[in-house]
Amino acid sequence: MTDMCASLDGLRGDGGSQPARFSGQLPPLLGRDTDLLTLTAHLCRADSHLSTLTGPGGVGKSRLAAAAADELTRLGPFAVVLVDLHDVDTEDGVLRSIAGAVGDDFGGAVADPVTRGDIAAIIPDRDVLLVLDGCEQVTETAAVIVRDLLSRRNRLRVLITSRRPLTLYGERLFPLQPLPTPQCPLTEDVAHLQEYPSVALFVDRARAVDPSFALTAENAGPVAEICGRMDGLPLAIELTAARLRLFPVGTLVARLREGSYGGVGRNMGAPHRHRSVHALTEASFRLLDEDQRRMLMRVAVCAKDVGLHTVEDLGGLAPHQTESVLEPLVDLNLVSVRHGAGDPRFAVLETVRVFCMDRLRERGELKEARSRHAEHFQALAERAQPHLTGPDQAQWLGELSAAHDNLQQALDFLRDEGWPAEAARTAVAIHRFWLVHGTLEVGNRHLATLPQADGALDAARGAMAAAMGDVLRAAETFHRASTAYRGHGDQDREQAMLAQRHAALQHAGERLHVRSTDYVIRSAGRAEAPIEIGDAALALATASAQDLDRCEELLEAARTVYARHQDVRGFGLVLAEQGEVAVARGQFDLAERLFRLSLEKLRSVGERTMLPTVLDAYAFLLWQQVPGQEDRVVRVMAASSALRKTTNASPLRIRRSMPAGPLRQLRRNLGSPQFEALWHEGRLLDSAATVAEMLSAPTLAGAGGGRTPATQQEAKLTPRQYQIASLVSQGLTNRQIAHQLQISEWTAVNHVRQIMHRLGLPSRIHVAQWVMKLGDGLGHARRGEHGG
């Protein structure tokens, strides 16, 4: 036996030198090399008496068991007997099936009726593996027979395949998971996509229908989606690929999106349980009692995994009843369990979910089930709302993140069924979650489709428009919100909305409204000031970038409100803005500390909308002040660019932390090949990894207290450029500079651009700050006014 098990080191998927006895006529076993090796090695162990291969219908349990049987046959003295019990549902049928297979293999005859003793008598006293394939319909009977046979034959091993375990003492479970599937929407190229076993299987089966089929950039997305909608179940993927006889890939995935699963993959030559995607679930569904079926269908309404509390609420049962009904569903792999740091999460495979929705529709219970689901998640949103700006912000944002798909489903149902007021309350309740987590397109879609308007709803719409950079829409909706709040006599929120409107219009070229600004600053000091005052102060601060003193005053007002409300995200955004002001004042060590604190705050709540802006600001400072950080800066810039594209965030700002100039300079410094390689690395980083990358950078103090940027050290301006830089520092516009120096406005613009380029500075504000730092050089620049 030791020598036999040692030969597993050379185990190959091609079946070895001996012909495959059990799986030779089946399609290739794709993506199961590790599973096959692990299972075969386990079966070779002398103490492996009872093993059960479990998993959902269509996952490939029978196929893997047959492959393992072939491997053990190939290895030598192991005798393998395979018994198909899929269509057997009585004890006598089980005994006859086992007796017939054992008799065929070992030449023994048994009496009629068959007993367990008769079967044990013809099993030889040697290493025998008895494979009982498809025991889910006869688990209790199989358990009794297996226990008796194992007690009579010490060298007997039994491998069970079943959708649920036998629950015998000493049983070793081998859960077989679906094949890995790509995430959608697809972000990987075709070459990487083909490495997924589910995709490789689909392509292999598609070529059986159409030999010319190939995975291309055009069909890669639909193929990935099909594999995901089939849950990575090999049989479901094979059945779906066979439908390419009728439909092209694009049409097929469109039908799946509409829920047309029942007719997918009709294989009339296969057993009934393998003829269609729905048949895979139907076989398990028949094994349930009515309480279990009702529970499964109500959980299946959920768009994604849910916690036990949700299962209890949707099922309408007491906790102890819920657990007793839920356990068989888990045993049958109709409901999966995911364990993490918190409570367990329960989910239903998409194929099972669609089957259950069809059953609810047939029973006339679908609307009631969806209504109960919507009511549950509406209540969750309203419970979360007051905590999204408080000390438990991170916890509740996490709750909403886990429930987001279900919240969207609830919103769609409430709107479509004619309950817009309930939909509006739900959308307003979670709009801060959308703003924090960067799901702006989703939030905008839901807010825009609600017909009626009120102050809170328009305030949420305005915040979404401002985050997406839509100046005019933001100003319009903030104005409507202020009017609505005025009608309710809510002066604080009325003025906060007006301030938000003025901040938005500042980006369209209008001047800030001093009255609104003064009101926000005064109100921030009052204990009852709502969180909207802090939001308004922060928006006004970003629109007051050229007046640093006013900007700092507004940031302090925002900080006061956010600190009182214990709003971690708001506090983090204030720190980032204060960091940018510190950069403008040349206080680089202070700016670095503020940026790092900001990133830590934003990371703690999973912020994604404003995170790219903060990352860019810190990366720019790092590039300017610490030598040897070009690689890190490029990766971080690439990651923030990818995140900005994912969230569609374009927050209204005047300062731009990372202009195009440094990107071009970095490309020149590193060379295009290295720059592109680093950029590709960065685009693969998620937000948490990017923040970790940035926080692991050396500090300015650790790098020797900072340094003057190389671009500034080497820059030498002409007397005329010094003269124009001096006028910029005095706050003159290009037109005013042109008038004073008697040059064209275009010439003034060109001079300013050349100055920023030679100094490596991103804006006129930084030019002004550079001039102020020159000290005696400033006097030289001013003296040059008369000699330039």
Q: What percent of the chain has pLDDT over 70?
A: 88
| Euclidean distance between CA atoms 59 and 70, whole angstroms | 19
Residue 705 has φ and ψ, to the nearest 5°, of 80, 15
For 40-109, what is the HEC assignment?
Answer: HHHHHCCCCCEEEEECCCCCCHHHHHHHHHHHHHHHCCCEEEEEECCCCCCHHHHHHHHHHHHHHHHCCC
Query: Tell me, what's the pLDDT at 507?
Result: 79
The residue that leads in pLDDT, 403 or 684, is 403
Q: How confident is the model at residue 718 (pLDDT cuts 50, 70, 90)?
A: low
Q: For the residues 583-592, what does the mean pLDDT come to?
A: 90
pLDDT > 60? residue 18: no
Of residues 219, 208, 281, 271, the one with CA closest to residue 242: 208
| Structure-token match 């305030």, residue found | 459
pLDDT > 90? residue 531: yes
DSSP state of 385: G
Q: For the residues 561-586, what does the mean pLDDT come to?
A: 93
Q: Which residues contact 420 (CB under 8 A, 6 or more apart)?
A: 414, 450, 451, 452
Q: Which residues contact 456 (CB under 8 A, 6 or more apart)?
A: 428, 481
The residue that leads in pLDDT, 516 or 9, is 516
Q: For the residues 344-371, what does the mean pLDDT come to?
A: 94
pLDDT > 90? residue 274: no
| Euclidean distance between CA atoms 660 and 651, whole angstroms | 18
For residues 578 and 552, the answer to whether their CB atoms sit within 8 Å is yes
Query: Tell me, what's the pLDDT at 124?
Result: 87
Query: Tell me, what's the pLDDT at 183?
Result: 84
Query: Tell me, what's the pLDDT at 24?
Result: 63
pLDDT > 80? residue 282: yes
DSSP state of 188: S
For residues 42 and 51, the answer to whether their CB atoms sit within 8 Å is yes
The residue that leads in pLDDT, 751 or 787, is 751
| Euclidean distance between CA atoms 345 and 310, whole angstroms | 10
Mean pLDDT of the chain: 86
The residue that leads in pLDDT, 343 or 775, is 343
What are the structure tokens assigned to 210, written together?
Answer: 């159409």
pLDDT digits (tens, 9 = 90+) for 211-248: 999 999 899 999 999 999 999 999 999 999 988 888 89
Minimum mean pLDDT range among 7-11, 98-102, 429-433, 590-594: 7-11
pLDDT digits (tens, 9 = 90+) for 48-73: 899 999 999 999 999 999 999 998 88
**For residue 162, what is the enclosing H or E element?**
strand 156-162
Query: Tell me, what's the pLDDT at 539?
Result: 94
Q: Which ranges constitute the DSSP H helices of 76-219?
A: 91-106, 116-122, 139-152, 190-193, 197-209
pLDDT > 50? residue 326: yes
The residue that leads in pLDDT, 507 or 358, is 358
pLDDT > 50? residue 6: no
If you compute the radius of gyration of the chain from its CA atoms, what whole number of angstroms results?
34
